[in-house]
Amino acid sequence: MVSSLVTEPLDLIRLSLDEQVFVKCRGNRELKGILYAFDPHMNMVLGNVEETYYEEVSKPDIQTNENKLKKRRIEMLFLRGDLIILVKPAVKLGKHT
At residue 3 the predicted structure's pLDDT band, cuts being 50, 70 and 90, is: low
At residue 90 the predicted structure's pLDDT band, cuts being 50, 70 and 90, is: confident
Poorest-pLDDT segment among 22-26, 35-39, 78-82, 92-96: 92-96
Q: Which of 8, 27, 31, 5 is nearest to 87 (CA)?
A: 31
Domains of the chain in sequence order: 2-89 (2.30.30.100)
Interval 15-64: pLDDT, tens: 999 999 999 999 999 999 999 999 999 999 999 999 999 888 777 777 66
